[in-house]
Amino acid sequence: MLTTIIVFIVVLLVMIVGLVGEVLPAVPGMILIWAAALAYAIYDQFQDVSIYTIIIMIFMWLTASAISYLSTLLTSRHLGVSWYGIIGGVLGAVIGVFLVNFWFILLGIALGAFIGEYIYQRKALSALKASAGALIGFALGSALKIVLALLMILFFLLAVIF
């Protein structure tokens, strides 16, 4: 019984680290939450956390990833950002991830979108709008991923408790 409680607490701590990982790029996010749930399910021989719970959590994780990318894309496109600006924002985000700092990711997205849009239109105002659109889309996507990560943890807790 004590071992099960310790394993449960460790799993919850790993899930909290995964939740933080949705904000900090150096830490894996939802995949860590899912892996912790899977580890608990295996430890518990799928008594409390069934294979269906694990599959639903995979679906939540994939949905969150798709929503994150789509929100950035759709927000940017809604604000009239060209594909140059979108590609610039994506490249900037990738460079920011390699610098392993949240602020560098934001800076990379903003500068990448600005540079890409400026190359395309040669208008600073349009490029600034592209930066804002990319950042707004990223913020919306990140917020939605955090909500879904919290729902994954809640779903796990409900499976274990009930």
pLDDT of residue 32: 94
The C-alpha atoms of residue 5 and residue 23 are separated, in whole angstroms, by 28
- CA angle, 104 as apex, 103 and 109 as ends, to 5°? 100
pLDDT at 123 (0 to 100): 85
Supply the pLDDT for residue 48. Answer: 92
Q: pTM value?
A: 0.80
pLDDT at 155: 95
For the chain, the domains span 2-161
Spatial CA neighbour of 87 closest among 61, 118, 64, 62: 118
| Mean pLDDT in consecutive groups of 10 residues from the start of the chain, 162 residues | 93 95 78 96 94 94 85 79 82 77 80 88 85 85 90 95 88
Q: What was the pLDDT predicted at 26?
A: 66
